[in-house]
Structure formats: structure tokens, C-alpha cells
Amino acid sequence: MSDEPSAPVAADGGAAAAAAPPSLLQGAAAIEPGEASEVVLARLAQACPSALARAAEQTSKRAARAQALEGFLRERFGVEPDPSNGGPLVPAERHFELARALKEELGYKLYVTVCASHWPAQKTKTGEDPEHFELATVLRTLGSGTHQACWRVRIAADVAVVDSLVPLFAGADWQEREQFDLLGVRFRGHPDLRRLMLPDEWEGHPLRKDYAIDTRCVPWR
């Protein structure tokens, strides 16, 4: 392993080793050299014979799922995949419909997360982009070759309402409450839309871009 004086290994097991000082490597400036990567990979392949084949099988499974999802989105929702932005932009009024189809038809049964973001009005090359929110949702299939489905919806800032996924996934309850709390996006059909992290009488929504990190607030009683 190394030419350094080897660490004292307790011959009698338990008590002596537990009592040994923790700084066994004090003064050892050298790093553990390691072996050539080909040697290591060959040895691991022998120790774990099925690992590589299984990984390859899962990669192909995931690719097939990704393709099926792409085709489904193109056909039913008329959107192109947008991998560099996490997922495609879907019309907000079809948010619930898409989630239900993914859960019931394509097997994306695990509710993973939801992430809202605030985009203030800004000037672009083609004109002005008004203030809006974006809501990204992630679902996942289970077991071998798990694949995550992500999509985004754009929500106008003056309404700031989108369908809730609580009827489909009970776990969406707290996640949507958190997004409502921190960003002020409202969820239509949510059974219990209250603040989650902040006190009920808190003013403002901290993750909005116009909420400065040093915003003064009334000291909490």
C-alpha cells in the first residue's frame, strides 16, 4: 500500500483500538498513491461481475423512457423537449392534465419536487418580457432505470395561480405550501394553502427578486 510507517492496527480488536489516539497519521504529508485505473477497473469488474451489464441495461432503459416521454409530449402537448433548461415549457392550463397523464399512463408515480421562480419584467431583443413566475415540477419512475420527468409552466404575475397537484399526489401539499409561502404563487384546489416556513403574519414573499436579502422586518415576538 505505502512506504509510510503503517498505522498501528490493534491486534486485540476492540479496547486497544478504541483507546488509540485519533491522530494516527500525524506528519504523513504524502498521499496514498493508488494503482493504475485499468488495474482497479479490472479488479472491480471481477469483484462485481453483474455491475457493468446492469448499468448498461439501465442506460438503455432510461434512453427508451426518455424517447417515449419526448414522443408523448410532442404528440399530446405539442411541445419540444428542452434539456438545457431542465424540461419543456407547457401551457399552465394543462399542468394538471400533464401530471395526471404522466402518473397514470407513463408510470411516473413518485412525486419528487416542485420549484417556483420569480422573473421580474425585463427588456429583451423582441420587446418587454413582463413579470412572471415559472413553476418546475419533477416526477420519477421507480426501480431499475429510473427516469425523471421535468416540465415547467409559466404563470402571469398578476394572477399567480396554477392548478394544485394535491389531488394526484398527497406529498404535493407541503411542497406547494412552501412555494406559496416563499414566492406567493397560489395553487387552485389546494385544500390547506397556508404558509409553511414563515409565521402566518409575515409580510411579503422572501424568494421574490424584489425582496432584498436585508429587508427589515418586525422582530418576531
Partner 1 sequence: MASTAAVSSKARASSTEASLTPTRAFVPDPYLDLATYAAAADLLTLSLGPQHPSTHGVFRVVLYLDGELIVKAVPHVGYLHRGVEKLCEKLSYSNVTPILDKNDYVAPMCNEQAANMVFEQLLGVEVPLRAKFVRTLLAELQRIASHLLWLGTFAMDLGGALGGGTSVFMYCFRERELILDLFEELTGCRFHYNTHCIGGNRHDIPAGYPALVHQSLDLIEARLLEYLGMLEHPIFRDRTRGVGTVDAELALELGLTGPLLRASGIDHDLRRDAPYHVYDLLDVNVICDDGGDCYARYKVRLQEIAESIRLSRLLIDNLPAGPICSTKPLSGVTQFKITSGQAYVAIESPRGELGTWLIAGGKGMNPYRMKLRPPSLHALAAVPYLFPRHTLSDAVAILGSLDPIMGEADR
Nearby residues of 146 by Cβ (< 8 Å), 6 or more positions away: 62, 140
Here's the x/- map for partner 1, 63-102, by CB under 8 A: it reads as ---------------------xxxx--------x---x--
For residues 67, 69, 70, 76, the Cα torsion angle rounded to the nearest 10 degrees is 140
Residues forming a β-bridge with 129: 122
The CA distances from residue 74 to 67, 87, 96, 151, 185, in Å, are 11, 13, 17, 13, 28
Taking the complex as a whole, the smallest distance from the CB of residue 122 to partner 1 amounts, in Å, to 10
- Name the segment binding partner 1 (CB under 8 A); options: 51-59, 65-73, 124-132, 153-161: 51-59
> Using the rule CB under 8 A, which residue among 102, 111, 132, 185 binds partner 1?
111
Residue ranges in 128-167 that form contacts with partner 1 under rule CB under 8 A: 136, 138, 140, 142-146, 148, 150, 152, 164, 166-167
Member of 66, 79, 101, 115 binding partner 1 (CB under 8 A): 115
Q: Is 109 in the site for partner 1 (CB under 8 A)?
A: yes
**How far out from the chain centre does Cα 138 lie?**
7
Q: How far is the CB of 72 from partner 1 (least distance, A)?
A: 19
DSSP element (H, E) containing 15 = helix 14-19
Minimal distance, residue 74 CB to partner 1, in Å: 20
What is the per-residue binding string for partner 1 in 6-45, x denoting contact by CB under 8 A?
A: xx-xx--xx--xx---xxxx--xxxxxxxxxx--xx-xxx
Residue 173 as a binder of partner 1 (CB under 8 A): the answer is yes
Q: Smallest distance, Å, CB 68 to partner 1?
A: 17
d(CA 186, CA 179): 8
Nearest approach in angstroms of CB 13 to partner 1 is 7
Q: In whole angstroms, how close is the CB of 52 to partner 1 at the nearest point?
A: 7
CB-CB contact of 173 with 191 (8 Å): yes
Q: Which amino acid is located at 82 in the chain?
A: D
Q: Residue 116's CB: how many other CB atoms inside 10 A?
A: 27
